[in-house]
Amino acid sequence: MRKKIVAGNWKMNKNLQEGIELVKEIKALCDADKPNCGVIVCTPFIHLASVTPLVNQDIIGIGAENCADKESGAYTGEVSASMVASTGARYCILGHSERRAYYHETAEILKEKVQLALANNLIPIFCIGEVKEERLANQQNQVVKAQLEGSLFNLSAEDFGKIILAYEPVWAIGTGLTATPEQAEDIHAFIRSLVADKYGKQVADDCTILYGGSCKPSNAKELFAKPDVDGGLIGGASLKAADFKGIIDAWK
């Protein structure tokens, strides 16, 4: 079944104490006024083990923002999918444009990460999206197609069915420039058609496709109103409990 989801991506923000506080605030707001959608909070690795016991993950799921492309061993500084899972976290963002751009994560590396996440029962939130030059050249469809083919379309239908997709136009991330609801719908529908071509209509219908990029309480409702936009992946606005809850409430 396709799920409506609002997921936060804290990026490299909040120390441990601040992170614990923020999760408690989000939980209090969701306890007071039940969300009408799935809620996921993705935090830096170091927060995971401290915040998973604070929430009922059937209501507020916890996820990492990355995991290693290797199972275990001499990879100083890396954190494996199995370590993430051992904290109780259920999700893992993979393929975020910041990881692709600043840490040179290729389609091939991301393919490994997706497989390791799935093998450890983590649900990948897999990000795709074009940069500004590609949008200006009207190449966004080719770009997302190559990203899906390069890292996900090797999966079985069963495994693909576990993935949450996030379309995040890089020109909209952290810039205040949001894709219009029409732009988002066009490409989300295109992404769903690619999934249908590869895995069939049922898998495509069931696939959750989030929009990310300067999504905030003031624009979430019109974005989520589009038939192929199943929620949001939220950066900046997920760092304040009230703003994050404002976006969650866009589903009401």
Nearest alpha-carbon partner for 93 in 141, 129, 59: 129
Query: At 8, which amino acid appears?
Result: G
The reply to whether 44 sits near ligand PGA by the rule CB under 6 A is no
**To the nearest whole angstrom, how small is the minimum distance from the Cβ of residue 126 to ligand PGA?**
12
The reply to whether 210 sits near ligand PGA by the rule CB under 6 A is no
**To the nearest whole angstrom, how small is the minimum distance from the Cβ of residue 232 to ligand PGA?**
8
* Binding track, positions 157-176, relative to ligand PGA; x by CB under 6 A: -----------x----xx--
Torsion sign over Cα 119, 46, 90, 124: negative
- Given the complex with ligand PGA, which of 191 and 215 has the nearer CB atom? 215
- Is 47 considered catalytic here? no
Q: Which tokens in the block code for residue 20?
A: 């614990």
The reply to whether 231 sits near ligand PGA by the rule CB under 6 A is no
Interface residue with ligand PGA among 213, 217, 231, 246 (CB under 6 A) is 213
The reply to whether 229 sits near ligand PGA by the rule CB under 6 A is no
Cα atoms in the 13 Å half-sphere on the side-chain side of 107: 14
Distances (CA, A) of 95 to 18, 92, 127, 132, 168: 26, 10, 5, 17, 10
- Is 104 considered catalytic here? no
Cα atoms in the 13 Å half-sphere on the side-chain side of 35: 27
- Given the complex with ligand PGA, which of 11 and 226 has the nearer CB atom? 11
Residue pair 23/235 in contact (Cβ under 8 Å)? The answer is no
What residue ranges bind ligand PGA (CB under 6 A)? 9, 168, 173-174, 212-215, 233-237
Instruction: List, by residue number, the catalytic residues.
Output: 96, 168
